Structure 1
């Protein structure tokens, strides 16, 4: 849902949705939008990473 929430927020701005968010092969979500200058950006959510209250990302060890 975090990517879809950002997708909604971006649709309310001057960005252009390029590819709606969808589940990807590695288990997360990913979507693309273009900013007003035409640059394409990816918005992704990785459910395997945790984010602390201070914003620090913890990447788990490989399986």
Structure 2
């Protein structure tokens, strides 16, 4: 099976329980990526959202929903 098998969330000073819940809902198919991004952006995150690691580039590289 392809896809994400493990995810490591680096502890931060924001509500990490809610961050984990958002990612769990996303992984379970109960949340769309856009909704998850919005929910995360509403939290007091220590910086901006990035996904560059997944694309081997720095920063944010939003893609159209599949």
Higher helix share: 2
TM-score w.r.t. length of structure 1? 0.31
* Larger-gyration structure (1/2): 1
Higher relative strand content: 1
